[in-house]
Structures are given as C-alpha cells and as structure tokens.
Amino acid sequence: MRHCINCCIQLLPNNERKQQVGCGGGPLHSHPECPACKGENKIVLRVDGKQMNLLAVLEVRAEGNESWGRFLRFKKGKRCSLVFGLMIMTLVMASYILSGAHQELLISSPFHYGAFPSNPSLMDGENPSDGKEHHHQPSVNNISYVKDYPSIKLIINSITARIEFTTRQLPDIEDLKKQELHMFSVIPNKFLPNSKSPCWYEEFTGRNTTDPYLTNSYVLYSKRFRSTFDALRKAFWGHLSHASGKHFRLRCLPRFYIIGQPKCGTTDLYDRLRLHPEVKFSAIKEPHWWTRKRFGIVRLRDGLRDRYPVEDYLDLFDLAAHQIHQGLQASSAKEQSRMTRIIIGEASASTMWDNNAWTFFYDNSTDGEPPFLTQDFIHAFQPDAKLIVMLRDPVERLYSDYLYFASSNKSADDFHEKVTEALQLFENCMLDYSLRACVYNNTLNNAMPVRLQVGLYAVYLLDWLTVFNKDQFLILRLEDHASNVKYTMHRVFQFLNLGPLGEKQETLMTKSPASNARRPEDRNLGPMWPVTQRILQDFYGPFNTRLAQVLADEAFAWRKT
C-alpha cells in the first residue's frame, strides 16, 4: 500500500497558460495529470479583478488502509513546505476578508456582510426612509464612547477653568484708516438725510457705452450672478442723475445686517423678510465682503486672490439704489415717500464671527489677539447700523453644521470623533493663549475638524457690544422662530420700523415652508449620540450662561431647548 500526495497549484496568467507545480516546487512535466484534481481548480482567488490561483488544490488523499503515521516520516522540508503553504493560504484569505475585498473571493464566507446603513439605528435590510419608525439604539461605539466620557470631561474642565471674558482694547479711528485707505476714500462721513438707507451720490466718469460692472469681481468669479448684472447694466444709464454736464450715480450701504450665525435659520429669515415691499437685499444673499472678499478670500484653503474693492461690494446694492434714486427724483410726495422708505439689508452669516483673515493682513499683537475686527470698520462708517442675530442651541447648531458641510462618511460615530479631536485642539490653545486669541486663531480654526468656535456666541457678542449699543441688536432664537414664525417676523418689522403688511402678504410670508431645512439624507442619519450631546452641553454651558446674563434672558442658556 502506498500514499499519493497530490498538491497541484495552477497559475493562470493573462495568456491562460497552465503550469502544474508539485509540492516540492518543481514542474510536473514528467507526471500525468493529477488524479486528485483532474485539471480543475478547486479554489479561485480574484485579486483586484484578476484571477490569481494561489492555491487551486491542496489535498491530501490516502489510498488503501495504511497508517497515516507514515506521512510523518516525510522529510522535514516537505512537511514544513506543506504547513507553510497552509499558513500562507489562511493569511491571504483572512487579509482579504478583513480588508473588505471578500466579494472578490469565489468561495462562500462564513461571515455575513451587509451594507453599512446610513442611519446608525437601522438594522440590516431596513430602508433608511423608514428611519422615523425606529428608535435609535445605542451602538457598540456609543457604549465605548460613554466609557471615554470621564477623560473628555477632564479636557472640558481644563477649558472651563481658563475661560475669562475680558474687554478688548478698541483701535483708534486713525489706525483703521491706515488699514483701509481706499475704503475711507470712497465711503463718505455723511449720507443723504431723506433716505432710510445710508446713500450718497458719486460722480460717474464713464460714457453711456461704458460697462460699469466690467471689472466687478463678483461678476468675474461667479457665473450665477451674471444675469443679475446684465439686467443692472441695461438699466444703469437711465438711473443716473445729471447736473452741470456731469453724471452721478447713487451709492448705498445696507441699513441693517443679518450677521449670524450659520445653520441658525438666517436663510429662512432672509427669504421671509425680502417679501416685504420696503426691504431690498443685496444682489447676492451672502456677499461675505466684510469678512472675506475684501481680503481676497473665496475659500481660505485655496489661498488668497485679488482683493475685492469696496466698489464691487457697493455694486451689489445698485438695484435698491436705482429705486431709491427714482423716489428722490419723483415729483409727487407719495412716490417720494414710497421709494425713500426702502431699507437695504445684507445677510452674510459670517459677519458676526469670521475674522480668520486678520493674521494675513494685520500686524500680530503680542498676546495673539486681532488688533482689528470686522465690527470696527462697519461702525466707523455706520455707527447707527441695525444688527440682527439668529441663534440656536450651539450643540444642535454644530451637528447641523457637520451634516451640511461634511462630504462623506457622515455618521454619529464620525461626528463624535471629530468633536473629541476639536476639543483637544481647543484645550491645547487655551493652555497658552487667552480665550479671545483662541477663538480668532486662524490656524486653530482650520485645524479643527468641526467648527466648534462658531457656537461661542457670548465671545462674539461681547466684542460687538464694545462698539455698538445693545439696542442696535435684535437677537432671536431659531427655536422660537420655528414655533411661531408670525411673532418673530413682527419683532423684526418693529425693529426695522417697517410698515404693516396686508393680510395676503403676511399669510404668504408666515405660511411659506422653512428655507434651507435639513436634507432628507441627513435626517436619515439620525441624531448625534447622547454622550456626544452631553459632552457638547458641558463645553458650551459656561458660554451659554454668560450669553443669558448679557441678554437677561434664561432662554439663551438652552437648558431646555
């Protein structure tokens, strides 16, 4: 009786040539076809879409009734080769299974792989659209995050212990002029007394064939608004004033600004408010001129472009300026009153908080705090400006911000990890710098994977209150706006001294669906983990408390949202 060890490995190159290799590694040219495999592949591996038969057959077959023990008398080298081959096969299969390439293996896997659901609460086979019908169950990750809470709480305690709301030192007006010589040469100190919006006449030296928007950066860099400027271009010459052989155009700045915050309902407020016949907004909803474009910033990660001059910003209000000019030139008192009551607004949600550009253009102060802020320049030209702020629970704001801006791999787990990383980075800054220096630290803000700093409302508001009076602000909560739109809009009308609306107009304004609501695919992801929510509540708590004190309204502490 004898044993036959048939170890056949077939390699299939692109030309499909077959080569049989024996256990010892030599070719089997002199041997007949192996009776064990009969030329057929028993296991086929595909790697990166190509057939790669590493081990087609590895079979030990006993013939007769002789003892298996004789196999142990094989040469040690052969036994080692066999064991080594088994180990290689096991490692290869395990690595491909673990790396997610199991679909390329034409063998059944002992594990069940289902697609990862976009909603952490959904089980395999459930439709994400049915997410509302299921309660969100804690995941394994959520449980592990709960265990990590004490260590994260230490980070938050470290930050809280270093919070100090200090009063900033205001720059001198002459220092502001040195930073923005051109802006101060264009915008006058006084405006027309018979217009609700800050307007003035400026000489236009071009001819009737001159394109006034030829070099406007908003037109050059954004195709979306070219049709708007085409309409303005056609009507431009007809809205000039002529005197002593000279031509004058009316220039205007906004009377009010919706200055923040992102993901707090500013778009919805803007969409409703612009339905009022007395309100005219800029040609672009969010010009971001004060915070970004005047520095040449479109996206900070893309570097700096040419700075947008103030004339480009003023061009955005030409449509409103044309109507105001029409009223100023009207012969009837009724027409004058109707047109001059127009109030111009601007709604860049970055105005309140984004001062990231200061490190590129202003000399660094010794303590790392910016010497100039956006509000310093707005106040220099418009000390009577009205400012509207819409806020929401900063915990929910951050999650909404994450869902809106994250491009891929969005999940409650990923959000939790990004929050943890951002807290660690913020603490590292607070160990060496002041609260204000960290909040306005461009390097830190770009490094944090979520915009943690945007929810520090108290820091920004206190800095704005150093230059503007409290009665120049209307500060709203998104939670109140969502529950009673009509009441919120009436508060805005009163704040801006707008005339009443007719019943039909008011119904249209208040009954319209919310703008910029969360996308369905983001809603299907479900809420953040409870432990993440608790961590953020701990972090934002001291800032919310200070905000509630400043506004004398406990609702802004968001203890019960």
Share of residues in the chain with pLDDT > 70 (%): 72
Q: What mean pLDDT is reported for the chain? A: 79
Query: 57: helix, coil or strand?
Result: coil
Query: 257: helix, coil or strand?
Result: strand
CB 440 within 8 A of CB 355: yes
Which tokens belong to 25? Answer: 């590694």
Taking residues 206-227, what's their average pLDDT?
Answer: 87
- pLDDT for res 143: 63
Was domain 171-554 assigned CATH 1.10.10.10?
Answer: no
Q: Answer whether residue 33 shows pLDDT above 80.
A: no
- pLDDT for res 116: 28
Q: Domain ranges in the chain?
A: 171-554
Q: Answer whether residue 262 shows pLDDT above 60.
A: yes
CB 308 within 8 A of CB 296: yes
Closest CA to 294 of 212, 190, 198, 181: 181
Least confident of 94-103, 119-128, 271-280, 530-539: 119-128
Share of residues in the chain with pLDDT > 90 (%): 56
CB 440 within 8 A of CB 370: yes
pLDDT tens digit sequence for 376-421: 999 999 999 999 999 999 999 999 999 998 877 899 999 999 999 9
Provide the β-strand partners of residue 474. Answer: 388
Residue 87 to residue 22: CA distance in whole angstroms = 18
Taking residues 121-129, what's their average pLDDT?
Answer: 30
Closest CA to 532 of 118, 163, 116, 120: 120
Q: Answer whether residue 303 shows pLDDT above 80.
A: no
Q: Answer whether residue 72 shows pLDDT above 70.
A: no
Q: Answer whether residue 180 shows pLDDT above 90.
A: yes
For 330, how many CA atoms within 13 A lie in the half-sphere containing its CB?
17
Q: What are phi and psi of 275, to 5 degrees?
A: -75, -15
Q: What pTM does this model have? A: 0.74
Band of the pLDDT at 512, cuts 50, 70, 90?
A: confident
Per DSSP bridges, beta strands 50-51 and 256-260 are unpaired
Taking residues 212-226, what's their average pLDDT?
Answer: 87
Per DSSP bridges, beta strands 46-47 and 256-260 are unpaired
Q: Answer whether residue 44 shows pLDDT above 80.
A: no
Band of the pLDDT at 510, cuts 50, 70, 90?
A: confident
Least confident of 46-60, 74-88, 229-243, 536-550: 46-60
pLDDT tens digit sequence for 514-561: 876 777 777 778 899 999 999 999 999 999 999 999 999 999 999 975
Band of the pLDDT at 76, cuts 50, 70, 90?
A: low
Q: Does residue 83 or residue 240 have the better pLDDT?
A: 240
Three-state secondary structure readout of 3-38:
CEEECCEECCCCCCCCCEECCCCCECCCCCCCCCCC
Band of the pLDDT at 329, cuts 50, 70, 90?
A: confident
DSSP-assigned letters across all residues of 121-175: TPPTT--GGGGGGSPPPPPHHHHHHHHHHHHHHHHHHHHHHT---PPPPPPPHHH
Three-state secondary structure readout of 82-125:
HHHHHHHHHHHHHHHHHCCCHHHECCCCCCCCCCCCCCCCCCCC
Residue 125 to residue 137: CA distance in whole angstroms = 16
**Highest-confidence range of 79-93, 206-220, 239-253, by mean pLDDT?**
239-253
pLDDT tens digit sequence for 330-344: 767 666 667 778 999
- pLDDT for res 430: 97
